[in-house]
Chains A and B, each alone.
Chain A
Amino acid sequence: MKSGRVFEIREFTLHDGPGVRTTVFFKGCPLRCAWCHNPEGQSFEIETIHVKTSVGSRVSRDRIVGQDWTADALATELLRNADIMAQSGGGVTFSGGEPLAQAEFLLELMPLLKEKEVHLAIETGGHVPHETYRRVVSRMDFVYQDLKLLDAAAFKRWTGGDLDIVLENVSWLRGSGVPFVFRVPCIPGVNDDAASRAAFDAFADGARIEYLPYNAAAGAKYPMLGRIFPMATLG
C-alpha cells in the first residue's frame, strides 16, 4: 500500500468546486513557480514552519508540515464529512503542491471515495508524464487546470518546468470529456498584461477560463520556512 504525503486538509473550502468540500493539499511539486503562495507544498520532505509569536507569548506556534497517510486512513478521514457532501452535492478536491505527483496514491484513494459517491475534483499544474495525467484525470468529475505562461522560455524561467509536458496534457484534456476550467494566476509583471490575457483567451478557445487575482501576501510563508521569496529577487 502506498502512502500519501499531505500538508493540509482544509474543510469547507469555498473556491474549489461545487457544494461543501474538503480540499486535500498534497506535499511536493515538480514546479517552482516564483510566486507560489504555498511554498510548504513544494518540497516532498516533511518540514517545520517557524511561526513568530507576539512578544511575551510563551507558546511556540511552530508546526510540522507534512503528514503521511495510507489511502484507507485518508479516505476514512475525508468520509467523516460524507453526509454534508452528499447533502450539498459537494466532495473532495485534490490540490497541492501537485497532487498528480502522487498519482499512485491517488489511484488507491479515489475508488474509496467514489464508492461513497463523493464528487472529486483536482487542481493541477499538469506537469507530470502524460500517462500519469490521463490515468488520474480521466477519473475526475472536475478539473482545475492551471495555466501560468504560454511561452516555453518564460515558463522555464518562472516555474523551472517544461511547457510541452503541460501542453500535451491539456491537449488531451480538451478532448477527454472531463469537465474542466482553466485557471490563470495573474502575476504582476509576469503574465498580467493585455497581450498575455489575449493569448490566454485565444488558447482557451471557448473553454471556461478563470483569472485569479494575485495574492499580495503570497510571500508570507517563505521566511517561516527559512527561505527567500523568489518573486522578491526574480521580479
Chain B
Amino acid sequence: MTERIKSLLERTFDKEQRKFRRDVDWKPLLERFIADGIDDEARARIGLVEMLKAETPAFMDGERLAFLRTVRGIPDLHSDAEMDARRAAGTAFGEKGVVFNLTADFGPTIRDGLDARLAEISTRIEQAKAANDAEGVGFLENAALSTRAVLDLSDRYRAAAEERGLSEIAATLAQVPHKGARSFHEALQALRILHYAMWCEGEYHCGLGRIDQYLLPYFEADIAAGRLTEETALEELEEFFIACNRDSDLYIGVQQGDNGQSVMLGGVTRDGRPAFNALSRLCLKACGELKLVDPKINLRVDRSTPLEVYKLGTELTAKGLGFPQYANDDVVIPALQRWGYELEDARDYSVAACWEFLVPGCGMDINNIDAVSFVGSLDAALRTMVGRSPRDRRGGQGAGRPTIVYEDVEAKFLAEIQRRADALVEKYRHVEILPGPFVSVISMDCIANARDICKGAKYNNFGIHGTGIAVAVDSLASVRELVFERKLVSLDELVHLLDTDFEGRPDILAAAKAAPKMGNADTRVDEIARRVIAFWGHVFDGRKNGRGGVFRPGTGSAMYYIWHAREVPASADGRLRGEPLSANWAPALDVPVKGPVSVVRSFTEPDLGPVCNGGPLTIEIHDSAFAMPDGVEKVAHLVKFFIERGGHQLQINTINRETLLDAQAHPERHRHLIVRVWGWSGYFIELDKEYQDQIIKRVELK
C-alpha cells in the first residue's frame, strides 16, 4: 500500500470526510410537492436536482478520485401520510417504495459518457412527441434534467478543482462523465460519480456489479500502453474502494454496513468464457490490503475453478472480512434460466445487495419483497392439528380423534407454507415502484423505451425469503422423534410445552435438544430438509406477479431472522422463547455439530437450484484456523467441496468468540473488528446489541 493510500485510509477511518457535511432542511420542498400536487417523476427529478445543487465540491487531501457527500440527508419525496394513503388504496411497495437493491448498467455509460445519453434522449424525445407519447416525453424530459444536474455538479467540481490547483482532478472531470472514459482512472472516476448520483436520487442498496468485467477494457488498454502497472492499478482501485466507505454511514440500511455496495468478481462472460482475470485478482488484493467493509466482495466460481482461486478468496476470509461470498455458477445460471432469464443474461448475474441474484442493468427485480417464516408456519400448523390458537392455553383434548401420523404434521406444515406463499402472491398483486429518472438513464433500454425503470425492466421478478428453515426442519425431526417414535409426549402436550417454554419438563426439553439436527449429515433430519426445500422451490410455480414477473423463493433471511423469532414462542427443536433464529441457510444456533464438513454435507443435500433467490450457508471458522500455514488451503478445500456438492452460495466468517465478547465490553479497542451479519459485513461495534448477541451465539459450543 502506498503512503498516499495509507493516509487516505486512515483519514477515512477517522471520519475526516464528515467535517465537510451540513444539514439541509428539506421539509419546505416536500410541502411544496404536496401543495402543488407534483407527480412522482417530477418529484424524483426535482429532488435530485435540488440535492445536487445543495452539494458543495469538497476534496480530501491527496485524493485523485473526487466526489464526496456534503449534504447529510436527501430530500423526502413523499410524506408518510401520502404513502400510507396509497397503501390503503391497494398499492403495495417494496420497502420504502423507491428503486433499491439494484445494480445499474454502469459499463455503457462509463464507455459513452452522459453527453451521449443526453443525445439519445433528445432524439428519442422527438420520436415520442411525434408519436404523441406524452408519458414518454415526460420521462425523457425528467431524465434529461436529472442527467444535466449530475453534469452540473461535475462541472462545479471541475471548476473547484481548477481553482485549488488540483489539475489532475480537473482534467479528469473535463472528460468524464461528459464523455467516455479513456483510461482506467477516468473509468473509476466516472463510476464513482454515477454511483454517487444514484444515492443522491434516493436509490439505496446500490450494487457495483461486475467491476472486473466492465472496467477490464480500460485496465488492459492502460497496461498494454504502459500507462499503468499492476502497482499503480492497485493504487487506483484502492482509492476507489476507500471512496466507497466515505459516505456509507449516510446510506439507508437496517444496520450500519447494510448498504448493498456489492461487487461480483469472476464467473463467466456473457458468451460463457471464464471471466476471472488479472483485474479480479487485483480487486481481491486491494480488499485484503485495505480490510474495509466496503465494497463487499462476491466471487463466482464453478466446478472448474482451480483451487488457487479459492485460496485467493480464502486469504480474504482469513483476514476476518466475512467475504468473499461465493456463488456457484453451476447452480445459479441454470436456476435463473428456469425463471426465464436468457442464457446470456443469466451468465451476467451479480448480487443485488446482499446475496439476491440479479442481472445488472436489466433486472428491476424486487429480490426481497417479503419472507415466509418457516418457524411461524410450523407453529401454526401444529396448532391447527391440535385445534388450538396461540392464545388458547387450555389443555387440549386428543380423545376420539383419528390417529395422526408424523406425515400428517409434515403435510400440514407444507400446506401452511403454501397458504402463506399464496397470501404473498395476493399481497403483491399490485406493486408500484417510485421513479428514478437518473438510474433509468444508466440502465438498459429505458431511454429506448421512453419509460422509467420503475415501470419495468427486462426482468421484474420478486424474491421471497425463507426464514428459520433449519429451526423448522429440526423441529419437525424433533416432533417425529418425541411424539411419534418415542411417544414421550402427545402433540397436544408438546404444543402446550411450546407455550409454556417447556416449563416443568426439562426431560422433554433435553430430548428436543438431543433430537437430530441439520448440520450433522444426519439423514434422519436431512431427508426432511430435502422434502421441505423441494416443496419450497416450487411453491410459486405458475404464479405471476403483477409486474409480469415470477416469484423466486430463496434460503435467505435478511433481517427477518430477528423479526420472525419474536413472533413465535419456543419451538419443538428446543429453542426457547426469545432465542434467535439462525440467519439464512445455516444450522440452528446452539446446535452441536460435528464440524464444517458435515455442515456442508447437510446443507448441500437438498437440490438448491429451485431456491436460488439467494441466501448463503454461513459457516463460522475460529480465527486460529489460519494460524497454521496450510489453514488457508484447508478452508479453500472446504469451499471447493461445497461448490462441487452443488451448494448455491456460501459465506465464511472468521471469528473468535472471546474477541467478540471483549468488543462488547470494550468497543473502543475493537473499532476495526469486522463481522458478517446476514448478507453483508459490518463493524461489530456499530451493530445493535441484538445483532451482536446473535453473532456471539452462532459461535458458542461449536
Chain A positions near chain B (C-beta within 8 angstroms): 9-12, 14-15, 18-20, 22, 58-60, 80-81, 83-84, 87-88, 90
Contacts and interface: CB of A to CB of B under 8 A. Distances in A.
A87 B641 contact: yes
29 contacts: A9-B594, A10-B595, A11-B597, A11-B598, A12-B634, A12-B638, A14-B624, A14-B625, A14-B634, A19-B634, A19-B637, A20-B597, A20-B637, A20-B641, A22-B595, A58-B502, A58-B506, A58-B576, A59-B509, A59-B510, A80-B601, A81-B597, A81-B598, A84-B641, A87-B641, A88-B633, A88-B634, A90-B634, A90-B637
Nearest to A17: B630
Contact of A84 (B509, B631, B637): B637
A217 to B, nearest CB: 10
Nearest to B701: A61
Interface of B: 502, 506, 509-510, 513, 521, 574, 576, 594-598, 601, 624-625, 628, 630-631, 633-634, 637-638, 640-641, 644
B502 A84 contact: no
Top-7 shortest CB links A-B? A11-B595, A88-B637, A12-B595, A84-B641, A11-B594, A12-B596, A11-B597
A13 to B, nearest CB: 8
Contacts of B510: 59-60
B516 to A, nearest CB: 15
A174 to B, nearest CB: 25
Contacts of A88: 633-634, 637, 641
Nearest to A10: B595
Contacts of B637: 19-20, 84, 87-88, 90
B641 A83 contact: yes
Contacts of B641: 20, 83-84, 87-88
Nearest to B622: A14
Contact of A15 (B506, B521, B628): B628
B628 A14 contact: yes
Nearest to A16: B628
Contacts of B521: 80
A222 B435 CA distance: 66
Given A83-B641, A84-B597, A14 B631 contact: yes
Most buried by B among A12, A83, A90: A12
Given A9-B594, A11-B596, A18 B630 contact: yes
A90 B635 CA distance: 12
A58 B634 contact: no
Contacts of A15: 628
Contacts of B509: 58-59
B467 to A, nearest CB: 24
Nearest to B619: A12
Most buried by A among B521, B595, B598, B640: B595
Contact of B506 (A10, A18, A59, A81): A59
B643 to A, nearest CB: 11
Contacts of B631: 14
B638 A20 contact: yes
B579 to A, nearest CB: 11
Q: From DSSP, what is the main secondary structure of chain A's interface residues? A: loop
A10 B594 CA distance: 7
Contacts of B601: 80
A15 B574 CA distance: 34
Nearest to A80: B521
A29 to B, nearest CB: 24
A84 B598 contact: no
Contacts of A22: 595, 597
B638 A84 contact: yes
Given A12-B597, A60-B510, 10 more contacts: A9-B594, A11-B598, A14-B628, A19-B637, A60-B506, A80-B598, A81-B597, A81-B598, A83-B641, A84-B641
Nearest to B596: A12
Nearest to A61: B701
A128 B630 CA distance: 31
Contacts of A58: 502, 506, 509, 576
A14 B595 CA distance: 12
Nearest to A51: B701
Contacts of B595: 10-12, 22
Contacts of B506: 58-60
Contacts of A59: 506, 509-510, 513, 574
A88 B633 CA distance: 9
A127 B595 CA distance: 31
A126 B110 CA distance: 68
Nearest to B501: A58
Contacts of A81: 597-598
B527 to A, nearest CB: 16
Nearest to B598: A11
A22 B510 CA distance: 28
B648 to A, nearest CB: 18
A141 to B, nearest CB: 16
Contacts of A11: 594-598
A177 B429 CA distance: 73
Nearest to B502: A58
Contacts of A9: 594
Most buried by A among B510, B513, B597: B597
Most buried by A among B509, B634, B640: B634
B520 to A, nearest CB: 10
B177 to A, nearest CB: 47
Contacts of A14: 624-625, 628, 630-631, 634
Contacts of B634: 12, 14, 19-20, 88, 90
Contacts of A84: 597, 637-638, 641
B404 to A, nearest CB: 28
A79 to B, nearest CB: 12
Contacts of A10: 595
A91 B453 CA distance: 54
A84 B307 CA distance: 13
A61 B356 CA distance: 38
Contacts of B594: 9, 11
Nearest to A60: B510
A81 B628 CA distance: 22
A24 to B, nearest CB: 12
Most buried by A among B625, B637, B644: B637
Nearest to A88: B637
B640 A87 contact: yes
B18 to A, nearest CB: 40
A20 B642 CA distance: 13
A227 B247 CA distance: 57
Contacts of A20: 597, 634, 637-638, 641
A58 B628 CA distance: 38
A207 to B, nearest CB: 19
A84 B637 CA distance: 8
A80 B521 CA distance: 9
Nearest to B595: A11
Contacts of A12: 595-597, 634, 638
Contacts of B640: 87
Contacts of A80: 521, 598, 601
Contacts of B574: 59
Contacts of B624: 14
A105 B625 CA distance: 31
Nearest to B512: A59
B499 to A, nearest CB: 16
Nearest to B630: A18
Contacts of B630: 14, 18
Contacts of B598: 11, 80-81
A87 B303 CA distance: 13
A56 to B, nearest CB: 11
Nearest to B506: A58
A118 to B, nearest CB: 14
Nearest to A9: B594
B436 to A, nearest CB: 46
Contacts of B638: 12, 20, 84
A199 to B, nearest CB: 26
B646 to A, nearest CB: 13
